[in-house]
C-alpha cells in the first residue's frame, strides 16, 4: 500500500483541473439549455392547450346557443342569439307559475311572452317556483308588475320567448350573458355574411342580385338560408358570382319589395374566435394564437 | 490520515452523481412532456368522439322525424351506426305534439372495439305532427273560389307562418273546371296554390305572391267528422238542447260580465236543424269559451239547413263574438273555437253578408258537405260558403277545411298551426298519407 498509495495521492495537474472545469461548464451549460428549452416547450404546450380549449369551449357553447335560437343579431362586437323555450305542462288561467323546458338562460326578473294561438301574454318571471310537471321542466314563478297570474290558458308547446343570450368582449374575456366564458381571447369577430341588394327586388321575384363583398367571390352557396330584410329564403341553385354582384335563385319568390341596398344576409352566424395567450417572458416571451372559425344556424322556426 | 482522506473512494463519484441528477431531471421533464402529449391527444380524441356522438344524436332525430312523417314510429329505436349508435324515443305529449329525445354515443375504439361509451350527447326536439289536411290555409275536397264582391274589399288568403306548406289546395274530387278560382282587384293570395286536376284560374288583377300554381298534386286525405263524440260530452255536462228556444233560454240565463258579455263554456250541443245567432238580445254579446255543436242527428236527410258549430274546450277568453248579428231567416251561424277542435262546423252557410261589426275567428273552420251524408266523399252537392262583407270584415286565424269553399269578401285567412298545439280535433278523423312535421323547439341537453 505504501509507495503506491503515495503515488495515487498526487493532486490533479492544472491542465487536468482546467479540462475538468471546462467539461463541467460545458455540461452545466448544456443542462441549462436543456432546462430552458424544456420549460419553453412546456409553456408552449400548456399555452396551446389552454388557447385551444378556451376557443373550443367558447365556440361549442356559441353553436349550441345559436342552434337553440329562433333568430340572431350581430351588432358591433356583440352577438345575440334569441332563444326560445316551451311550456312542458299546460298552464291554466289564474296560474301563478309556469313550467318551461329550459330555464337556464332566463334571468330573474325578466319579462317574456307566452305565445299560442292568437293569444299572447307577457309574463314577468321572478324566480324558480315549486311543484313538478309530469313532462319535466323547471317551475317558474310569475309576478307583478305584469299580471301575477295568467289571464288565459296556454297548452303544452306554447312558445316562451325571447330569451336573449348575448356574447360580447370585455378586455381579453369573452362574456356569455355577462359571465366570463373564455379568458385570454382577442380578435373575436361575429359576422353574418351580410351584404346588400345590388338591385331593387319586387314582390314575387324569385331571383335577386346581391353585391359580392369580394369581387368574383360568392358569399352564398346552394342551400344557404338567406334573409332579405325580414324574409327568409333558401338558395335553390349554385349562384353565379361574377364581378361585383351575384345572382341568387331563391326557393320561393319574395312576398315584399325591397329597395336597392337592403341588407341581405345568411341566417347563419359565422364567428371567428381568436384566442391568444401571452407567455411570461421566458426567453423573451411568446404569444400563442389559435384561430377557430365556426358557423351555427338557428334550428328553431322563426316566430311570427 | 490527511493523505488517506484525499484518496477516499467518494472523490471519484462526482461525475456519476451529476450524471444521475441530469438523467433524473431529463426523465422527469420527458415524462411530464409525454404526459402532456398523451393528455392533448386524449383531448383531441374526446373532442372527436363528442362531435361524432352529436351527429349520431342528430341522425336519431332525423330518423324519428322521418318515421313520424310516415306514421311508422313503433317505439324506442336503437340503431348502430359507424363507431357508435343512436337511441331515440318519441314521447307523445298529445295527439299533435311529440317530443323526440335522441342520444348518440360513440364506443371505445381499439384493437377490440367495445360497447363501452366513450362519448355521449343528447338532443331534444319538440315537434308538431299534423295530417296534411290541417297543413294548408285553405283545403277543399272539391273546388275553391276566392273573390271580392264589394268595393274596397281586400280578401286575403295566406300562409306566411309556414310558407312551405302552401296556401290553397283543392282535391277537386268532382273534376270541376276550374278547380281553383281567384278573382277580384284587392284579392291577395300568398303562397302556393295547388290542385289535383283541371285548372287554376287566377285573375291577373289578383295580387298573387309565390302562388306557383300546380295542378298535378296528389289528393290530400280529407278528414271525416264524428259528431257523436261532441254529443256524448254535451250530454255528460248537462248542456244538451233540442231546440233553439231552450238554447236561447240557456244563454239568457247566463250572467253578464262588466262588459256586458254572456259566456258559454263546456260542450253545448243543440240538436236542431238550425240555430240562429242572435235570436235574442242576450246573444248579441256572447263569449264562447267551450264547444257549441248544432246538428240534426235524426239521420242524414236534409231537413232545412243544418249547422254544426264547435268551439273549444279550454277557456281561453278570446272567443269574443263582439257585436255579432245575423239577419234572421238567412240561415247563418258563426262559431269560433280553439284548442284544436274546429271553430266552425256547418252544413250550410257560415258567415253571411249584412251583419254589423267585425268578426274574429281563431281556430280551425271545418265545413261539412251539404249532402244527404256529410261523410259522403266526394260530396254530391255544393254548399259551403264563407262570406264576409266590406262593412263587416272577418278575420280567421287558423285554417279552413271544407268540402266546398266559396270564400271571402273582405275576409282575411292567416294559417296558424298553433291552433293545434293542444292536440288535433277530437271529432275529426284525419288519417292516411304522410304527416307534416313542424319543429317547435330544439335543444341540447346540458
Interface ipTM? 0.73
B314, B440, B442 member nearest A157 (Cβ): B440
Q: Are residues B280 and B423 in the same domain?
A: yes
Size of interface A-B (CB pairs under 8 A): 145
Selecting from A67, A119, A156 the residue whose C-beta is nearest the C-beta of B318 gives: A119
Pair B145, B66 in one domain: no
Find how far residue A163's CA is from the centre of its chain.
Answer: 16
Residue B188 domain-assigned?
yes
Residue B109: domain span: 14-131
pLDDT of amino acid A257: 84
A195 vs B363, residue with greater confidence: A195
If pLDDT is split at 50, 70 and 90, which confidence band does B52 have? very high
Range of lowest pLDDT (A188-197, A248-257, B12-21, B351-360): B351-360
Whether residue B74 is found in the same domain as residue B159:
no
- Percentage of chain B beyond pLDDT 70 is 66
Is B2 inside a domain boundary? no
**B330: closest CA of chain A, how far (Å):** 30
CATH annotation of A193-267: 2.40.30
> Where is pLDDT greater, at B339 or A141?
A141
Helix (H, G, I), strand (E, B) or coil at B170: strand
B100 burial via Cβ count (<10 Å: 0-12, 13-18, 19+): buried
What per-residue confidence (pLDDT) applies to B129?
A: 92
Taking contacts as CB-CB distances below 8 angstroms, the residues of chain A near B418 are: 115-117
Q: How far is A153 from chain B (nearest CA, A)?
A: 5
Q: State which of B98, B131, B164 marks the end of a domain.
A: B131
Higher pLDDT: B103 or A295? It is: B103
Q: What is the pLDDT, as a whole number, of residue A31?
A: 81
- HEC profile for chain A? CHHHHHHHCCCCCHHHHHHHHHHHHHHHHHHHHHHHHHHHHHHHHHHHHHHHHHHHHHHHHHHHHHHCEEEEEEECCEEEEEEEEEECCCECCCCCEEEECCCCCCCCCEEEEEEECCEEEEEEEEEECCCCCCCCCEEEEEECCCCCCCCCCECCCCEEEEEEEEEEEECCEEEECCEEEECCEEEEEEECCCEEECCCECCCCCEEEEECCECCECCCCCCCEEEECCEEEEECCCCECCCCEEEEEECCCCCCCECCCCEEEECCEEEEEEEEEECCCHHHCCEEEEEEEEEECCCCCCCC
Q: Is the pLDDT of residue A112 over 80?
A: yes
Span B367-387, pLDDT tens digits: 664 434 444 555 544 445 555
Residue B441 lies in a domain: no
CATH 2.40.30 in chain A: give the residue spans. 78-184, 193-267
Q: Does the pLDDT of residue B296 top 60, yes or no?
A: no
Looking at B131, B163, B186, the residue that finishes a domain is B131
Task: Please check whether residues B154 and B199 belong to one and the same domain.
Answer: yes
Residues of A in contact with B4 (CB under 8 A): 5
Query: How many angstroms away from the CA of B161 is the closest CA of chain A?
Result: 6
pTM of the model: 0.76
Q: Mark yes or no for CB contact A42/B36 under 8 Å.
A: yes
pLDDT band of B433, cuts 50, 70, 90: confident
Q: Name the least confident of A48-52, B206-210, B292-296.
A: B292-296
In a domain, B281, yes or no: yes
Give tens-digit pLDDT for B40-49.
Answer: 888 888 888 9
Nearest CB to A42; choose among B33, B362, B439: B33
Residue of B18, B167, B422, B425 for testing the chain A interface, max A β-carbons within 10 Å: B422
Q: What CATH code is assigned to A78-184?
A: 2.40.30
Average pLDDT, whole number, for chain B? 73
CB contact under 8 A, A84 and B160: no
pLDDT of residue B221: 87
| A155/B314 touch (CB, cutoff 8 Å), yes or no | yes
Whether pLDDT at A125 is above 80: yes
The DSSP output letter for B220 is P
Residue B443 lies in a domain: no
In this structure, what are the phi and psi dihedrals at residue B134, rounded to the nearest 5 degrees?
A: -105, 20
The pLDDT confidence band at residue B359, using thresholds 50, 70 and 90, is low
For chain B, the domain total comes to 2
The answer on B254 and B270 residing in a single domain is yes
**Are B311 and B403 found together in one domain?**
yes
Q: Answer yes or no: do B208 and B301 share one domain.
A: yes
CB atoms near residue B30 (< 10 Å): 11
> Between A38 and A288, where is the model more confident?
A38
- Mean of pLDDT over chain A: 79
pLDDT, average across residues A18-31: 89
Q: What is the pLDDT of residue B173?
A: 86
Q: Which residues of A touch B124 (CB under 8 A)?
A: 101
Confidence of residue B408 (pLDDT cuts 50, 70, 90): low
pLDDT, tens digit (0-9, with 9 covering 90-100), for B97-118:
899 999 999 988 776 667 778 8
In this structure, the answer to whether residues B21 and B91 fall within a common structural domain is yes
- Extended strands (E) in B109-216: 117-131, 138-140, 144-146, 156-158, 168-170, 180-182, 188-190, 193-195, 200-202, 207-209
> Cβ B362–A117 below 8 Å, yes or no?
yes
Residue of A nearest to B32 (CA): A42
Best residue of A117, A159, A298 to probe chain B, by most B CBs closer than 10 Å: A117
In chain A, residues with a C-beta closer than 8 Å to the C-beta of B160 are 255
Tell me what the mean pLDDT of segment B267-279 comes to. Answer: 69
- What gap in Å lies between CA B68 and CA B127, rounded to an integer? 10
Asked if residue B77 and residue B160 are part of one domain, the reply reads no
Domain endpoint, select from B102, B131, B160: B131
pLDDT digits 0-9 by tens, A236-283: 888 888 888 899 998 878 877 889 988 887 756 566 666 665 555 444
Do residue B285 and residue B191 come from a single domain?
Answer: yes
Asked if A157 lies within 8 A of B421 by C-beta distance, the reply is: yes
* pLDDT at A174 (0 to 100): 83
**B127 and B137 in one domain?**
no
Q: Is B336 found in the same domain as B199? A: yes
Grid coordinates of B89: 324515443
Amino acid at each position: 500500500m505504501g509507495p503506491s498509495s503515495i503515488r495515487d495521492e498526487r493532486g490533479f495537474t492544472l491542465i487536468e483541473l482546467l479540462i475538468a472545469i471546462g467539461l463541467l461548464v460545458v455540461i452545466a451549460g448544456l443542462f441549462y439549455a436543456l432546462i430552458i428549452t424544456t420549460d419553453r416547450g412546456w409553456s408552449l404546450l400548456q399555452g396551446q392547450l389552454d388557447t385551444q380549449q378556451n376557443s373550443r369551449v367558447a365556440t361549442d357553447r356559441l353553436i349550441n346557443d345559436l342552434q337553440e335560437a329562433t333568430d340572431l343579431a350581430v351588432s358591433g362586437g356583440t352577438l345575440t342569439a334569441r332563444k326560445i323555450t316551451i311550456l312542458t305542462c299546460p298552464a291554466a288561467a289564474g296560474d301563478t307559475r309556469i313550467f318551461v323546458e329550459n330555464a337556464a338562460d332566463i334571468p330573474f326578473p325578466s319579462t317574456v311572452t307566452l305565445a299560442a294561438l292568437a293569444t299572447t301574454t307577457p309574463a314577468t318571471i321572478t324566480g324558480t317556483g315549486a311543484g313538478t310537471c309530469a313532462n319535466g321542466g323547471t317551475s317558474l314563478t310569475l309576478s307583478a308588475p305584469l299580471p301575477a297570474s295568467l289571464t288565459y290558458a296556454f297548452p303544452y308547446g306554447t312558445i316562451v320567448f325571447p330569451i336573449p343570450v348575448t356574447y360580447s368582449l370585455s378586455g381579453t374575456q369573452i362574456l356569455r350573458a355577462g359571465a366570463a366564458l373564455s379568458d385570454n381571447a382577442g380578435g373575436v369577430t361575429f359576422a353574418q355574411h351580410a351584404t346588400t341588394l345590388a338591385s331593387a327586388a319586387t314582390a314575387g321575384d324569385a331571383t335577386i342580385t346581391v353585391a359580392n363583398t369580394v369581387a368574383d367571390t360568392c358569399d352564398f352557396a346552394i342551400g344557404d338560408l338567406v334573409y332579405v330584410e325580414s324574409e327568409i329564403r333558401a338558395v335553390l341553385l349554385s349562384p353565379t358570382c361574377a364581378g361585383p354582384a351575384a345572382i341568387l335563385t331563391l326557393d320561393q319568390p319574395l312576398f315584399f319589395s325591397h329597395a336597392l341596398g337592403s341588407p341581405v344576409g345568411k341566417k347563419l352566424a359565422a364567428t371567428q374566435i381568436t384566442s391568444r395567450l401571452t407567455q411570461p417572458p421566458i426567453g423573451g416571451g411568446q404569444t400563442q394564437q389559435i384561430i377557430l372559425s365556426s358557423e351555427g344556424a338557428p334550428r328553431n322556426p322563426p316566430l311570427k | 490520515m490527511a493523505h488517506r482522506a484525499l484518496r477516499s473512494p467518494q472523490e471519484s463519484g462526482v461525475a456519476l452523481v451529476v450524471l444521475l441528477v441530469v438523467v433524473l431531471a431529463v426523465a422527469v421533464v420527458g415524462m411530464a412532456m409525454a404526459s402532456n402529449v398523451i393528455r392533448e391527444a386524449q383531448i383531441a380524441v374526446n373532442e372527436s368522439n363528442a362531435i361524432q356522438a352529436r351527429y349520431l344524436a342528430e341522425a336519431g332525430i332525423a330518423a324519428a322525424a322521418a318515421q313520424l312523417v310516415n306514421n311508422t314510429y313503433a317505439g324506442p329505436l336503437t340503431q348502430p351506426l359507424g363507431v357508435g349508435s343512436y337511441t331515440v324515443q318519441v314521447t307523445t305529449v298529445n295527439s299533435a305534439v311529440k317530443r323526440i329525445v335522441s342520444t348518440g354515443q360513440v364506443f371505445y375504439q381499439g384493437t377490440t372495439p367495445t360497447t363501452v361509451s366513450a362519448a355521449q350527447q343528447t338532443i331534444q326536439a319538440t315537434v308538431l305532427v299534423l295530417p296534411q289536411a290541417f297543413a294548408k290555409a285553405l283545403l277543399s275536397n272539391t273546388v275553391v273560389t276566392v273573390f271580392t264582391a264589394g268595393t274596397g274589399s281586400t280578401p286575403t288568403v295566406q300562409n306566411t307562418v309556414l310558407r312551405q306548406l302552401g296556401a290553397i289546395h283543392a282535391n277537386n274530387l268532382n273534376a270541376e273546371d276550374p278547380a281553383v278560382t281567384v278573382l277580384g282587384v284587392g284579392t291577395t293570395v300568398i303562397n302556393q296554390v295547388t290542385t289535383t286536376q283541371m285548372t287554376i284560374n287566377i285573375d291577373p288583377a289578383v295580387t298573387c305572391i309565390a302562388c306557383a300554381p300546380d295542378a298535378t298534386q296528389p289528393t290530400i286525405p280529407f278528414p271525416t267528422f264524428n259528431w257523436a263524440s261532441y254529443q256524448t260530452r254535451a250530454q255528460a255536462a248537462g248542456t244538451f238542447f233540442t231546440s233553439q228556444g231552450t238554447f236561447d233560454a240557456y244563454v239568457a240565463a247566463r250572467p253578464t260580465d262588466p262588459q256586458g258579455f254572456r259566456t258559454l263554456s263546456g260542450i253545448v250541443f243543440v240538436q236542431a236543424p238550425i240555430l240562429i245567432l242572435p235570436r235574442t238580445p242576450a246573444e248579441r254579446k256572447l263569449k264562447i269559451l267551450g264547444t257549441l255543436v248544432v246538428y240534426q242527428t235524426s239521420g242524414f236527410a236534409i231537413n232545412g239547413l243544418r249547422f254544426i258549430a264547435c268551439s273549444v274546450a279550454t277557456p281561453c277568453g278570446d272567443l269574443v263574438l263582439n257585436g255579432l248579428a245575423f239577419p234572421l231567416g238567412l240561415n247563418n251561424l258563426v262559431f269560433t273555437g280553439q284548442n284544436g277542435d274546429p271553430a266552425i262546423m256547418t252544413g250550410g252557410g257560415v258567415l253571411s253578408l249584412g251583419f254589423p261589426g267585425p268578426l274574429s275567428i281563431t281556430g280551425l273552420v271545418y265545413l261539412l258537405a251539404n249532402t244527404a251524408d256529410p261523410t259522403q266523399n266526394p260530396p254530391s252537392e255544393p254548399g259551403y260558403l264563407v262570406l264576409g262583407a266590406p262593412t263587416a270584415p272577418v278575420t280567421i286565424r287558423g285554417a279552413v277545411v271544407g268540402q266546398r269553399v266559396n270564400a271571402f269578401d273582405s275576409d282575411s285567412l292567416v294559417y296558424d298551426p298553433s291552433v293545434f298545439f293542444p292536440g288535433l280535433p277530437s271529432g275529426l278523423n284525419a288519417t292516411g298519407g304522410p304527416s307534416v312535421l313542424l319543429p317547435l323547439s330544439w335543444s341540447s341537453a346540458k
